[in-house]
Amino acid sequence: MYVPFVNLEVMHNEIRNEIFNKFMEVYNNNWFILGNEVKSFEEEFADFCNARYCIGCGNGLDALYLILRGYEIGVGDEVIVPSNTYIATSLAVSYAGAKPIFVEPDINSYNMDTDLIEQAITDRTKAIIAVHLYGQPAEMSRINYIAQKHNIKVIEDSAQAHGAIYKNRKTGSLGDAAGFSFYPGKNLGALGDAGAVVTNDEELADKIRAIANYGSRRKYYNRYKGTNSRLDEVQAAILRIKLKQLNKWNEFRDKIAQRYLEGINNSQIVKPHIGDYTTKHAWHLFVVRSEGRDDFQKYLNDSGIGTVIHYPIPMHLQEAYSDMNFTRGDFPIAEKISTEVLSIPLWYGMKEEEIQYVIDTINAWR
């Protein structure tokens, strides 16, 4: 049997006609930037997150960057980010001109260890970016508490957590502002690059809307040295159709995750740990951990099961950050995770026999 790591075909086949008809509608409207589809999507996605404002933008990296710009965080400032995340979290900080300060993850949740945040805060710290890694919410109450005490902002990197719920509240509404990515493989994905900022902060929303559009609220009158990062009408129209399916797709992901959690019983394999504050995990990724990970990956690959490592190199060891002069051993938990994690197939439309084959193959390892 062959089980690919990801397959968007089932999902896309189910909405094929609706997407094609909508595409024709946008095509016939001849209005492609900042029109009614974007406006409607922004309202619908803000509603989905139980937040007041949503501003569409070019991608998830830009969403985080725009939030930092909106809060005027830049040169000379520090922003706390996890040492264990996708590099976009940290690059958004660098791109804004500020310095990322890495904080180690908790080995069980893989999210930032909240006991280590305060010692990383200095008088230059302006914000904490909490990543809901793999779809599990970060420990937001504690992060908000620390941030309030030090008068700094809390930014959610929700790129992997559309629809995840923390203590009965949706991600995207848990901090001061949240960045979402709609990269095609995310739980809610466009047919290309797209992203959004979600916030309850009216002033921030208004400012980000301008910064993302050349710093302008009124055409040819430029208040800020802005950028061009806009969600376009075609992607917004597609996202509106997909948003209607998101709860169903996330439920399906959850069913697969429950089958894996119950079925995988190989003592060499550490399964994901679900925090008691997690009301709903978005299961963007199902990540297992094992010593001998590379052998394990090869074994699964030889058995026809696609896997991906999220992520093989922690931030501080990336060549892009060699200027920070970190060495191996500086963030040992992130390093350990990077050598042990492996993401296994989890996608809408997986068949029961495919799920069972993944479980049986994993249980037969060694």
Ligand X SMILES: *Cc1c(COP(=O)(O)O)cnc(C)c1O
Within 10 A of 161 (CB to CB), how many other CB atoms are there?
31
Which range binds ligand X by CB under 6 A, 72-80, 155-163, 203-211, 294-302? 155-163
Separation between Cα atoms, residue 112 and residue 175, nearest integer Å: 15
For β-strands 153-157 and 125-131, DSSP reports them as parallel
Q: Which is nearer to ligand X, 253 or 355 (by Cβ)?
A: 253
Beta carbon of residue 91, minimum distance to ligand X (angstroms, whole number): 9
Residue 85 in the binding site for ligand X (CB under 6 A): yes
3 state SS of 198:
strand
Whole-number minimum distance, CB 105 to ligand X, in Å? Answer: 13
301-to-304, 307, 352, 366 alpha-carbon distances in Å: 5, 7, 20, 15
Query: Interface residues for ligand X in 341-360 (CB under 6 A)?
Result: none
- Minimum CB separation of residue 160 from ligand X in Å reads 5
Place of tokens 């948003």: 243
12-16: which pairs have CB atoms within 8 A and are 24 or more residues apart?
Answer: 14/245, 15/241, 15/242, 15/245
User: Looking at 57, 80, 88, 346, which residue binds ligand X (CB under 6 A)?
Assistant: 88
CB of 61 to ligand X, least distance (A): 4
Among 183, 252, 283, 286, binds ligand X (CB under 6 A): 183
Q: What is the DSSP string of 7-35?
A: --HHHHHHTHHHHHHHHHHHHHHT--BSS
Give the separation between CA 247 and CA 253, rounded to whole angstroms.
Answer: 10
Give min distance, CB of 127 to ligand X, in A: 15
Q: Is 140 exposed, middle or buried (0-12, 13-18, 19+ CB in 10 A)?
A: buried
Residues 122-141 that bind ligand X (CB under 6 A): 131
- Give least dist CB 170 to ligand X, A: 17
Q: Is 195 in the site for ligand X (CB under 6 A)?
A: yes
Helix (H, G, I), strand (E, B) or coil at 299: helix
| Nearer to ligand X (CB atom), residue 160 or residue 338 | 160
Toward ligand X, which CB reaches closer, 188 or 359? Answer: 188
Q: Which of 157, 176, 232, 340 binds ligand X (CB under 6 A)?
A: 157
Q: Among 84, 160, 171, 290, which residue interacts with ligand X (rule: CB under 6 A)? A: 160
Q: Is 86 in the site for ligand X (CB under 6 A)?
A: yes
Nearer to ligand X, 331 or 357 (CB): 331
| 105 DSSP 8-state letter | B
Residue nearest to ligand X (CB): 60
Burial class (CB in 10 A: 0-12, 13-18, 19+), 9: exposed
**Binding to ligand X, residues 34-63 (CB under 6 A):** 59-61
Question: Which pair of tokens denotes residue 117?
Answer: 């945040």
The sheet carrying 177-181 orders its strands as: 53-57, 195-199, 177-181, 153-157, 125-131, 78-82, 99-103
90 binds ligand X (CB under 6 A): no
One residue of 159, 174, 198, 344 binding ligand X per CB under 6 A: 159
- The string of DSSP letters for 135-177 reads GPPP-HHHHHHHHHHHT-EEEEE-TT-TT-EETTEETTSSSSE
What is the smallest separation between the CB atom of 47 and ligand X, expressed in angstroms?
A: 21
Q: Which is nearer to ligand X, 171 or 173 (CB)?
A: 171
- The distance of closest approach from Cβ of residue 93 to ligand X in the complex, given in angstroms and rounded to an integer, is 12
Total residues at interface with ligand X (CB under 6 A): 15
Centre a 10 Å sphere on the Cβ of residue 26 and count the other Cβ atoms it contains.
Answer: 20
Report the residue number, 60 or 345, with the smaller CB distance to ligand X.
Answer: 60
User: For the chain, first and last CA: distance in Å?
Assistant: 20
Smallest distance, ligand X to C-beta of residue 23, A: 21
Residues near ligand X (CB under 6 A): 59-61, 85-86, 88-89, 131, 157, 159-160, 181, 183, 193, 195
